[in-house]
Amino acid sequence: MFRYEVLFLTVPEITKDESEAIRTHFSKVIRAHKGSLISFDRWGKYRLAYPVNHNDYGVYFLARLEVDGENKEALLASIKEIFVFKFNTLIPKHIVARLDATAPLEYKRPASLEDNPQDIDSFLKRNEMEGLIKKGPVRKQPDFKNRTPEVDVVAEYDETEAE
């Protein structure tokens, strides 16, 4: 048996349905070549080292699979087809790497933006500066839907001034 892993980068606006569609199509292709999908992990959102297709952010996915020696090359060719032709608008980059079949499946990955968020409040919490977090009363958001029309009042005022 040959074990492979595919790491692919998607656009940051990817929805749950789209990622699920990629997963189902991916597993369908693997089953057609008598292989098996071991795992399909979503790493999360990352800031990229350089902009890809004018995007500074991206979402990584890691899929691992197993195949026989006979169907190996046909499967790898069809995997390339998925990324390059079918989902080319969603997936700008992918890489296929061979894995050692005897080695354990655990791996280390870099921390994503979802693991340690970059906003101000979480920064203050991480550095034990919680006293600086504003705890005052929450300011009421103006209710735009049910607001009273003020346009009529302005119109009346204009009329009086004209006289």
Partner 1 sequence: MTKKIKLKISARLLKKKFRKKAAGSKKQCRFTNNPAMAADLNYKNIDLLLKFLTERGKILPSRISGNSSKYQRILSCEIKKARIMALLPFCATEY
In the complex, the smallest distance separating the C-beta of residue 46 from partner 1, rounded to whole angstroms, is 8
DSSP characters over 38-83: EEEEEEEEEEEEEEETTEEEEEEEEEEEEE-SSSHHHHHHHHHHII
Q: How many angstroms separate the CA atoms of 71 and 79, rounded? A: 12
Residue 64: both structure tokens together: 């691992």
Query: Which residue carries 């959102």 as its tokens?
Result: 45
- Residue 25: in which H helix or E strand, if any? helix 16-32
Number of residues located near partner 1, criterion CB under 8 A: 19
In the complex, the smallest distance separating the C-beta of residue 55 from partner 1, rounded to whole angstroms, is 10
By CB under 8 A, residue 58 contacts partner 1: yes
Site for partner 1 in 75-114 (CB under 8 A): 93, 95, 97, 103, 107-110
Near partner 1 by CB under 8 A: residue from 11, 37, 52, 113 = 52
Site string for partner 1, 18-37 (x = CB under 8 A): --------------------
In the complex, the smallest distance separating the C-beta of residue 80 from partner 1, rounded to whole angstroms, is 15
